[in-house]
Amino acid sequence: MSLLSHHSLGKIEAGIDEAGRGCMAGPVVAAAVILPPDYKHSLLNDSKKLTSKQRELLRHDIIRDALDYYVAEVSHTVIDQINILNATMKAMHKAVKGLKKLQPDLLLIDGNRFKPYPGIEHQCFVQGDGKYLSIAAASILAKTHRDALMERLSTLHPEYGWDVNAGYATEKHRHAMETIGLTPYHRTTFHFKPKQLDLF
């Protein structure tokens, strides 16, 4: 099934999605994307249904074609302070605020929860990244941004496999947390409390 352009009549719409909400390390990342009216791309889909190579190709095309976009991070330390749901909402709001070329009239949110953004309507869509092009585009920008960040962090802590698991709770990741401990990039409120990794 091909994805749709939502387009309420005469309204500028921004698709919003996040990446990293369920991870045990690293930030949560959100993206906001405003696509041209009637935008089409044969490959554009939910980021989870694409290969990493396809996502990278799409990232380039979305950045080139979007009328406006912004990618925002909220750190693991803030996640621990305010919880992951509030941190996700904060990242989404930062992404909307980061749009500079256009002010959206309507936000299309992936998922079923959103904290209203002042002065802008919103609609939530469960699995919206598999339904609407602008949300799919946001999912790709958020995921590729976060994956690249976790790959960089993996060079500092290769034992955890972040270059492959992006901080999710894979067997290798959990085993490293249990046997080595937590890095400075782990979310301490998400899981059991293994020994803390020495910073030095």
Strand order in the sheet with 68-74: 68-74, 28-34, 13-19, 106-110, 121-125
Distance, in Å, from the CA atom of 27 to the CA atom of 185, rounded to the nearest integer, reads 8
CATH match for 13-154 among 3.30.360.10, 3.30.413.10, 3.30.420.10, 3.40.50.300: 3.30.420.10
- Under 8 Å between Cβ of 31 and 17: yes
pLDDT tens for 84-143 read 999 999 999 999 999 999 999 999 999 999 999 999 999 999 999 999 999 999 999 999
User: In 10 A of CB 90, how many CB atoms?
Assistant: 18
Q: Is the pLDDT of residue 1 over 60?
A: no
The pLDDT tens digits for 37-59 are: 889 898 998 888 899 999 999 99
The residues spanned by each domain of the chain are 13-154
Residue 198: which H helix or E strand, with range? none
Per-residue pLDDT tens for 183-197? Answer: 999 999 875 444 444
The DSSP secondary-structure symbol of 126 reads: T
Q: Which residue has the tokens 């709770």?
A: 169
In the prediction, which pLDDT does 98 show? Answer: 98
Contacts of residue 188, defined as CB under 8 A and 6 or more positions apart, other chains included, come to: 80, 182
The tens digit of pLDDT for each residue in 137-178 reads: 999 999 999 999 999 999 999 999 999 999 999 999 999 999
Residue 83 CA to residue 25 CA, distance in Å, equals: 13
How many angstroms separate the most distant Cα atoms in the chain? Answer: 57
Contact (CB, 8 A) for 13 and 134: yes
Model pTM greater than 0.95?
no
The pLDDT score that the predictor gives to residue 7 is 59
Start-to-end CA span in the chain (Å): 52
Radius of gyration of the chain (CA): 17
Instruction: Give the pair of three-digit tokens for residue 82.
Output: 């305010």
SS3 118: coil
The tokens for 50 are: 């694409």
